[in-house]
Amino acid sequence: MRISELAAESGVPVATIKFYLRSGLLPEGRQTAPRQAEYGADHLSRLRLIRALLGPGGLSIAAAGEVLKQLDQPPGSTHGLLGAAHHALDTGVRARAGQSMTEHPRADAMLASLGWNIDPADHLSRYRLEEALAGLEAAGFVPPPGFPEMYASAMRELAVRELEQVPLGSSSEAMRYVVLGTILTEPLLLALRRLAQQDVSAKNFADTAPPPSPAGETVPKHS
């Protein structure tokens, strides 16, 4: 199909598609005439993936480019997939961390007490944890005792079930699963967490706020 048909099919404007072509996110089409190229089903699915990474995935153009590069060149081992996937997703953290990334005392202490097996060369994941723990501390927010451990055990239970599902047949399929599973389920988890808090809050504090109407058309009840 031509670029105009690709635009119609995908719902992405021609100008945006041209921008993705220029940025290297979307591979060039097959040249059929001096100023005309032909695009296929691969382009369509790649375009949907780009939209998902930049939209709900919340990635920058640069980070999306790294993720796509990883998807195109899968690493050798199944466990290596995960490191490569996480690495590609962490462009922003790396930029913020700079030199200090190898210092992560709070994270080291917590991981040691959890007994988790983390690649010693992977400072990035530790730095993310360090940054989160230091942020709580800096804001003067002391989580109740046992809370970080409660989060850790909830996340580990999810990880066990998530990794049971990785398709091991093809490494490019596995890479795709791990990258998308990580990046696209993060917004899902966070959205569900806030909704779950609302549900629990509505039940716990029903006496302090009028109950929400089941009809779905009434005035806001937060007051």
- Cβ distance 101 to 123 under 8 Å? yes
Using CB under 8 A as the binding rule, the residues of this chain from 87 to 126 that contact a copy of itself are 87, 96, 111, 116-126
Size, binding site for a copy of itself by CB under 8 A: 107
Residues found in the chain: 223
Q: Least distance to a copy of itself from the beta carbon of 33, Å?
A: 31
- CA-to-CA separations, 55 to 25, 112, 203, in angstroms, rounded: 14, 36, 33
Nearest alpha carbon to residue 89 among 68, 117, 113: 68
Report if residue 18 touches a copy of itself, rule: CB under 8 A. Answer: no
Using CB under 8 A as the binding rule, the residues of this chain from 33 to 72 that contact a copy of itself are 45, 48-49, 51-53, 55-57
Phi, psi angle pair for 36, to nearest 5°:
-145, 135
Q: Least distance to a copy of itself from the beta carbon of 196, Å?
A: 4
CA–CA separation, 136 and 94 (whole Å): 20
At position 46, the amino acid (one-letter code) is R
Pick 8 or 158: Cβ nearer a copy of itself = 158
SS3 193: helix
Binding range to a copy of itself, per CB under 8 A, among 1-9, 18-26, 33-41, 84-92:
84-92
Contact pick of 15, 33, 41, 138 for a copy of itself (by CB under 8 A): 138
- Binding letters toward a copy of itself, positions 186-205, x by CB under 8 A: xxxxxxxxxxxxxxxxxxxx
